[in-house]
Amino acid sequence: MTKITEVFKLNCKNPHIIFLSFLALLSGILIGTSYIPYPPWAIAFCYLPLWWAVLLSSDEKSYKTIFFLGWISQFVLTLLGFNWIYFTAREFGDLNIPVSLAALLLFASFMHLYIPFSLVIATYFKRKFKLTTTAFIFTMALVHILLERTWPSIFEWNLGYTLLWAKSPLAQWADTVGFWGLSALIFIFQAILLYSFLNFKTKKTKSLTVLAITVLTVVGLSILGVSKKQTFSKTDSQVKVTIVQANISNEEKLQAEKGYDYQPYVFNTYFDATELELAHINNETDLIIWPETALPVALDKVYHAKPSQQTILNRVKAWQKTLVTGAYSQDTYKRDHLGNLIIRNSVFFINGDGEAAAPYYKTDLLVFGEYMPFGQEMPFLYKLFPFVGVYERGPGPIQKAITLANGQNFTLGPQICYESLNPGFSRGLSKVGAEIFFNLTNDSWFGDWAEPYQHMIMTLARGVENRRPLIRSTNTGISTIILANGEILEQSPIYQKWAHTYTVPFTKNPPPTFYSKYGYWDWALWVLILLFILLVSSERGIRARNKKS
């Protein structure tokens, strides 16, 4: 931060740098206001001001200045698109206003540094290989694509998700390239747009031809996307699913988990909401789904004789329906490195006879929420940050076979909260044979502004990539279902008690999509393209130098 501040003070005295900084600021605004929940109004050109600023400064300006321009953009876009970090710091960390604001500013300063780093790397390539302007434009795009794809991040967002948010038929191609691939194509489009703009006066015909071909390609892919949706609308089975959103507050959840008087309140809230919906639909449902950690007790079989657990099992038995619910798994003897009995964030499956199958344990734990980095090696960190949980990791993607009272059977692929943000996890569910995905989430720590919408779309995206229906059940919203064809069904309101029953069409034993089978091909392809550009540009540079000599 000190070096960035020094560069900022120095550049404020230079009118040319002020103009370049304005372009970088403009890009930050365009990107930040084009991501969910904003309408994606500028995704076709949001990086162009930043790239133009780097083009104007790549020959004579220092790497520090170029890094600074990229830093401005990433700082502003983070403040605009991810300011819910402030709410989370207040709600989850119980931090005061100044500290929460500092946490947001720190997050915005460092979270998306791959953007300025991509510009520095591209500029290095330009100077090293003497790239032409055209080659440099595409190198900036490709390096960004590669760093975006591989940069370690807590929330791996990308612009591709905005296509699903906007209900664009282009989102249908996620089953081939994934949403990382769609994001890459957006950057390639922007590079073509910048090329056409900069060459319009000197190469008008060529620029217009390239742009026209690109636009026609996008139109053609959109038309084919509509056709893909129709193809995946054909199914051979269906199941009726009831989602219950109880809207339990964070304080009530915490008190219930400590065993205080809120436990009966939590139980009864779920019981009442479920029974009201069952009465409304004349008991015509197959599956009831409650959200992550809905029940503040351990549901392992060893605890089934306890009064609270007996109440739950007897109620499910009375409904004669299969219940899938989030709860805790607690070991009876095995302890963690802090000496506490091991706890797991879990999904339990209880059939209409009140019998519970083996649970699923969450695998991808949320950093600073469910585990502390280096916490096992340095236990004192948990004393410094007492709000951080200590959970044991699960086994990875699994499928659960469900058999209903009518004899119908299908396989469910469980995800808990954060696991939906990892495309590889859902591809794993597809590979083990899951026919329907479901995600249990509690977004009550993030407020009602952007995060619930961002998390929802990023979760539902896994259904399109793998062409499986995905059921999303949350505590405070947004609960909904996406079908294999990409259609998003009715969405719940945020921070309201709510229940709804859906008819979910699906395909028995669906084949894997191209992306399910070859999901990691996307970054490798862009590496090869980048190497090709550098090789060709290098050879041109050598020939040009030989001619001069």
Please list the active-site residues: 292, 362, 417
Q: Cα–Cα distance between 508 and 237 in angstroms, integer?
A: 7
Q: Show the CA angle centred on residue 476, arms to residues 475 and 481, nearest 5°.
A: 75
Is residue 68 within 8 A of residue 8, CB to CB? The reply is yes
Q: Which H helix or E strand runs over 332?
A: strand 322-335
Is residue 327 within 8 A of residue 346, CB to CB? The reply is yes
- Neighbouring C-alpha atoms within 13 Å toward the C-beta of 305: 1
> Identity (one letter) of the amino acid at 339?
G
Q: Cα–Cα distance between 233 and 246 in angstroms, integer?
A: 31
Peptide bond into 17 cis (omega under 30): no
* Start-to-end CA span in the chain (Å): 46
DSSP helix/strand/coil, 357: strand
Peptide bond into 37 cis (omega under 30): yes
Is residue 239 within 8 A of residue 287, CB to CB? The reply is yes
Is residue 356 within 8 A of residue 301, CB to CB? The reply is yes
Alpha helices (H) in 111-249, listed in sequence order: 114-129, 133-150, 161-165, 174-198, 204-231
Q: What are the backbone dihedrals phi and psi of residue 412, each rounded to the nearest 5 degrees, phi first? A: -105, 145
Provide the token pair at 19. 């103009």
Q: Cα–Cα distance between 180 and 523 in angstroms, integer?
A: 9
| DSSP annotation string for 401-448 | EEE-TTS-EEEEEEEEGGGGG-HHHHHHHHHTT-SEEEEEE--TTS-S
CA 531 to chain centre: 29
Please give the order of strands across the beta sheet that includes 470-474: 400-403, 409-416, 436-441, 470-474, 480-482
List the one residue out of 458, 391, 476 whose CA is nearest residue 87.
476
Provide the token pair at 167. 């209900």
Provide the token pair at 397. 């993607």
